[in-house]
Amino acid sequence: MINHLIIGNSAAAIGGVEGIRRSDRENPITLIAEEPYPCYSRPLISYYLEGKVAENEMGYRGADFYAANRVEARLGVRAQRIDPDRQEVILETGEVLPYDRLLIATGSRPVTPPIKGIEKKGVFFFNKLDYARALRQYVSPGSRCAVIGGGLTGLKAAEALVHLGARVLVTDISSCLLSSILDPAGAEIVKRHLAGSGIGFQLGVPVVELAGDSRVEGLIFADGGSKAVDAVIVATGVRPNLEVVSDTGVDVGQGIIVDNQLQTNLPGIFAAGDVSEGWDIVLQQRRVIANLPNAYRQGETAGRNMAGEKVVYPGGVALNSVSFFGLAIATAGISNSEDAGVEAVRYLKEAEKIYRRLNFREGRLVGYICIGEISRVGILTALIKSRTPLADKRQGLLKGDFGLVDLPEEVRLSWRWERGELTWRF
């Protein structure tokens, strides 16, 4: 008998279960999860906050997932540490669980920025259902809410709060929104759109303190300015949950280092998702790629290998696809770099809030920003992943409605029109 053990219960963990069960229907799988809920789709928490989806509509898989896959799900308990020599996982309760194959899929958690008073009542993070629930209780129409961090998570929280009737201010240390993925031209379009939807901004000045006694009452900025608020949402980035592997001999960089089969340096131990540092196809180096499709595919590959297959994951690409108040934004790979080696071609229609920027390096597409017109981004992503030479195709691909004629001849044969969409057959 082989004991499969999985720590985590989100995209990477579920991928792990489904990967194992592709070829191994027999051996037991135990899953340990700190959150007390069946697996849910994390990106939906902002829609839950604004009341667009109910809690019972957030499932990442159906209610019978664990039973159908013969998984013993231990929900609401934290794995404290692993002991690789004894092949055991020790839970916070002191219980010890043996394993033969272990998948670490512990994801990431929010960074706590060095802001005085951040522990006050009325301050929330925004990475899990519990925070969305608590915010829903705390905020009412007319509440003054500040979101610290103008990245994807912060802006999704801001949008939901506006829909709840709150008055929302977004602050960021950077003068650009979404500064890790957009360039100034793209950020300006998004800012204008969000401002038109009712969000206020204070950008380029850090918040240094949260005022109030036990409950937050205001923001204090580094330039001495201040703003009265009733609630604060902190969304200043995430970092991998690495505690279970500390002092275990598992190699760690920014995340748990894995090879192309999602194995760590220790036999029988795999890692996947936001906690892992795998291969980035574009950068051609290892890094943490924190997005849901990558987490699932890494988890599934890990699961298949845990079950004895020999499957290689070619690597992931940094991808984002999101919309704010109806404005669609998609980015991939090297999206906002101004490096000399990156040649950017751009197409901007400011009034229509349309911006497309494609980045090429050595004749290959290495990233893009598409705002307001995101058709065909799936094909652009496939072109990035396949590292297809595109020397004379730059301008053609820039159009939102490019067709087969805009693709290099040698790859046209691998593409098909299906139901009005271009589809790539590998």
Ligand X SMILES: Cc1cc2nc3c(=O)[nH]c(=O)nc-3n(C[C@H](O)[C@H](O)[C@H](O)COP(=O)(O)OP(=O)(O)OC[C@H]3O[C@@H](n4cnc5c(N)ncnc54)[C@H](O)[C@@H]3O)c2cc1C
User: Which residues of the shown chain bind ligand X in the complex (CB under 6 A)?
Assistant: 7-13, 32-35, 42-43, 45-46, 78-79, 105-108, 126-127, 153, 156, 241, 244, 273-274, 290-293, 295, 322
Residue 130's CB: how many other CB atoms inside 10 A?
Answer: 14
Beta carbon nearer to ligand X, 271 or 307: 271
Beta carbon nearer to ligand X, 79 or 407: 79
Contact call for residues 357 and 183 (beta carbons, < 8 A): yes
Q: Which amino acid, residue 134?
A: A
Beta carbon nearer to ligand X, 117 or 154: 154
In the three-class reduction of DSSP (H, G, I as helix; E, B as strand; rest coil), residue 295 is classed as helix
Q: Distance (Å, rounded) from C-alpha 48 to C-alpha 130?
A: 11
Q: Which amino acid, residue 180?
A: S
CA nearest to 107, candidates 42, 156, 57, 48:
42
In the three-class reduction of DSSP (H, G, I as helix; E, B as strand; rest coil), residue 149 is classed as coil
Residue 414's CB: how many other CB atoms inside 10 A?
Answer: 14
Contact call for residues 352 and 192 (beta carbons, < 8 A): no
Kindly state the tokens that stand for 328: 């669609």
Per the listing, tokens 């071609």 go with 345
Q: Distance (Å, rounded) from C-alpha 72 to C-alpha 63?
A: 14
Q: What sign has the CA pseudo-torsion 352, 353, 356, 357? A: positive
